Amino acid sequence: MTHAIDISCAIGGKKLPSLIMNASGPLCTMEDHLRALCQSSSGAVVTKSMTIEPRDGNPHPKYADLEYGSVNSNGLENLGVGRYMEVISKLKKEFPDCVFIASVAGLKEEDYYNMAAEIGTVADLIEVNLSCPNIPGKPQIAYDMEASDRILKTINTKTQAPIGVKLPAYCDPVFLKEAADMLMKHELAYLSLINSIGHTVHVDPLTDETVIHPNNGRGGLGGAYIKPIALGQVHAFYQLLGNRIPILGVGGVYTGRDVYDYVLAGATGVQVGTAYMQEGPAIFTRIAQELRNVLAEKGARSAQEKLGMLKIRGVNT
């Protein structure tokens, strides 16, 4: 019976009932969004990446659905760390079994430290977003290994909450190895791989305009377009890190089979972004059942039995 198959996972000392959760970004900005996630089958509740002060983000239109995914240039629209502390505290009383992951995105290094010290008093885990591609004039910190190393080292001294890290794609193997070596120096709850692929352009065939406005029409690409890239990143980091840091796969998760592919590649869990934006909170129940069906077909009693079991064509396994 597929309902008996275990799809739980453990992240940062927390046992999650499902390895499938929302990704920071879509439908997790407002209190109502987070409450809906608490009421859903999401394994955890991940907030929008927050900043010290509230932000309106970039001007509209800044999101568009595409044939195989989405593009956005949100610009870190959020309520600010103070408000998220209030909301998480309130929701933890209403939903004591929910695990809250607070995503933080500093506009300068000191912001990360200050937010971690504050939000870590109420959130169960902190996701350090070093990879937002949609802030005009701001680089993705994760490409600067020295700065990333410094931020992670300092954050761990500022908060008692376990920390995870959200990273971009490193499409050069040298960068992958440098990143893995740097990350292994720190006590991390997980890696979230990957953020959207920045600075992509999509054209409306009726108007010959870009489909979004900010950043000269360029935005972060998500959905099925980036699944092969994300799978490659998960597999590469899993080979470099082994089981030393759990990985959450992000990018193109629409079905239970997508989740299974990520588990094979080395992901302990997954985060759902574009598909959650398009389908809403009911998606977590659907995908979970589909995953159980796939695992049953494969003769597995749990998702974690298949962790890192991806076969390489032409290699005896």
- The answer to whether 198 and 164 have CB atoms below 8 angstroms apart is no
Q: How far apart are CA 107 and CA 186, in angstroms?
A: 22
Q: What is the pLDDT of residues 233-281, one digit of tens each?
A: 999 999 999 889 999 999 999 999 999 999 999 999 999 999 999 999 9
pLDDT at position 243: 86
Q: How far apart are CA 194 and CA 170, in angstroms?
A: 9
Per DSSP, helices labelled H in 96-172 are 109-119, 145-158
pLDDT at position 284: 98
Class of domain 2-59+77-199+224-306: alpha beta
Residues in the chain with pLDDT values less than 50: 1
Q: What is the pLDDT of residues 42-76, one digit of tens each?
A: 999 999 999 999 999 999 999 999 999 999 999 99
Q: Which two tokens stand for residue 68?
A: 């195989």
Q: How far apart are CA 193 and CA 167, in angstroms?
A: 6
Length of the chain: 317
Catalytic positions, written as ranges? 132
Nearest to 127, CA basis, from 157, 155, 92: 155
pLDDT at position 134: 66
- The answer to whether 261 and 298 have CB atoms below 8 angstroms apart is no
- The answer to whether 273 and 2 have CB atoms below 8 angstroms apart is no
Rounded to a whole number, what is the largest CA-CA distance in the chain? 54
Q: How far apart are CA 231 and CA 252, in angstroms?
A: 10
One DSSP character per residue, 176-217 reads HHHHHHHHTTS--SEEEE---EEEEE-EETTTTEES--TGGG
Q: Compute φ and ψ for 127, nearest 5 degrees.
A: -105, 115
Burial of residue 304, with CB atoms counted within 10 A of its CB: 0-12 exposed, 13-18 middle, 19 or more buried: middle
pLDDT at position 2: 54
Nearest to 28, CA basis, from 99, 98, 95, 102: 102
Predicted TM-score (pTM) above 0.85: yes
Give 232's contacts (C-beta < 8 A, 6+ positions apart): none
Order of strands across the sheet with 197-201?
Answer: 63-66, 69-72, 218-223, 197-201
Q: Which amino acid is at 252?
A: G
Order of strands across the sheet with 125-129?
Answer: 20-22, 269-272, 247-250, 190-193, 163-167, 125-129, 100-104, 45-46
